[in-house]
């Protein structure tokens, strides 16, 4: 029988997550299908394994129900919880960024020049993930759609100052911290064999990895390697996350709830 415990100290040493945000991660990773529901006792075991207090989890569930993100159903004294249609749509939209492999994402970059600093196309560019450099100048990935009336120039090798300007230093520093934790976790699980961990512990490990990655990668538009450099810690984190999630593949809910 599985008996090992995953070595999670590098992940649990990262900043304590907001409880409601961790619940968004748990349901978005483990229960994204319309029929998926997580039983209350299972959710308790998962959140306790992350060091979250039961009262804080109850408050967070209440908040997410009010936000139309999670719906709860009681059967006797036990509740089960699942994503609402709104929560599912938002989770699936974010998952395209969270779970994408680097090779599935655009590589090149482009520069967009507006006619004036108050041009109507600004919101459209920002919605496509462009980052504003100057009042009339934006940069974005090479496959982003550009509205009519915007001059477009495809980028080549950018100067170092440009890469530094579009990535805030505090974001890069947080990626560096996460990268260290992910690499330590990878090293410590290298000798674990499939089946050595309980499905509940696999789920716990996945959710911690996904959460700390999600809270960073959704804070900024996608920045391709050609713009930031392939050695930017954000891209290196994505590679580590991809590797770890392949090792800790998502268990079925019935397996988690049976352990």
SS3 call for 117: coil
In angstroms, the CA 43 to CA 48 distance is 8
- Average pLDDT along the chain, 259 residues, taken 10 residues at a time: 69 92 98 95 94 96 98 91 98 95 90 90 92 93 92 89 86 96 93 83 95 96 88 96 95 87
Angle in degrees, CA 211, 199, 68, rounded to 5: 45
The domain limits of the chain are: 9-103+165-257, 109-154
- pLDDT, residue 258, reads 74
- pLDDT, residue 4, reads 60
pTM tops 0.85? yes
8-state DSSP, 58: H
* Widest Cα–Cα separation across the chain: 67
- pLDDT, residue 191, reads 83
Fold of the domain built from segment(s) 9-103+165-257: Arc Repressor Mutant, subunit A (1.10.10)
Query: What are the DSSP E strand ranges found in 1-130?
Result: 38-39, 70-75, 78-83, 109-113
- pLDDT, residue 239, reads 97
- pLDDT, residue 1, reads 47
Return the structure tokens found at 13.
């040493």
- pLDDT, residue 194, reads 65
């Amino acid at each position: 029988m599985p008996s090992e415990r995953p070595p999670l100290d590098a992940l649990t040493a990262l900043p304590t997550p907001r409880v409601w945000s961790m619940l968004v991660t748990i349901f978005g990773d483990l229960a994204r299908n319309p029929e998926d529901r997580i039983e209350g006792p299972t959710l308790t075991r998962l959140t306790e394994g992350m060091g979250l207090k039961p009262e804080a989890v109850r408050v967070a569930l209440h908040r997410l129900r009010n936000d139309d993100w999670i719906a709860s159903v009681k059967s006797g004294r036990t509740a089960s919880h699942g994503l609402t249609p709104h929560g599912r749509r938002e989770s699936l939209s974010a998952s395209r960024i969270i779970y994408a492999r680097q090779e599935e994402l655009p590589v090149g970059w482009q520069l967009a020049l507006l006619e004036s600093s108050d041009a109507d196309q600004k919101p459209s560019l920002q919605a496509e993930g462009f980052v504003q450099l100057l009042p009339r100048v934006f940069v974005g990935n090479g496959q982003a759609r550009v509205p009519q009336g915007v001059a477009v120039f495809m980028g080549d090798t950018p100067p170092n100052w440009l890469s530094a300007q579009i990535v805030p230093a505090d974001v890069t520093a947080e990626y560096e911290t996460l990268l260290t934790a992910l690499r330590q976790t990878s090293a410590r699980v290298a000798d674990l064999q499939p089946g050595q961990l309980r499905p509940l512990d696999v789920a716990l490990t996945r959710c911690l990895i996904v959460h700390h990655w999600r809270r960073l990668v959704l804070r900024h538009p996608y920045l391709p390697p050609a713009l930031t450099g392939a050695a930017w810690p954000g891209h290196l984190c994505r590679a580590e996350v991809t590797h770890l999630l392949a090792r800790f593949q998502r268990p079925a809910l019935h397996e988690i709830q049976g352990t």
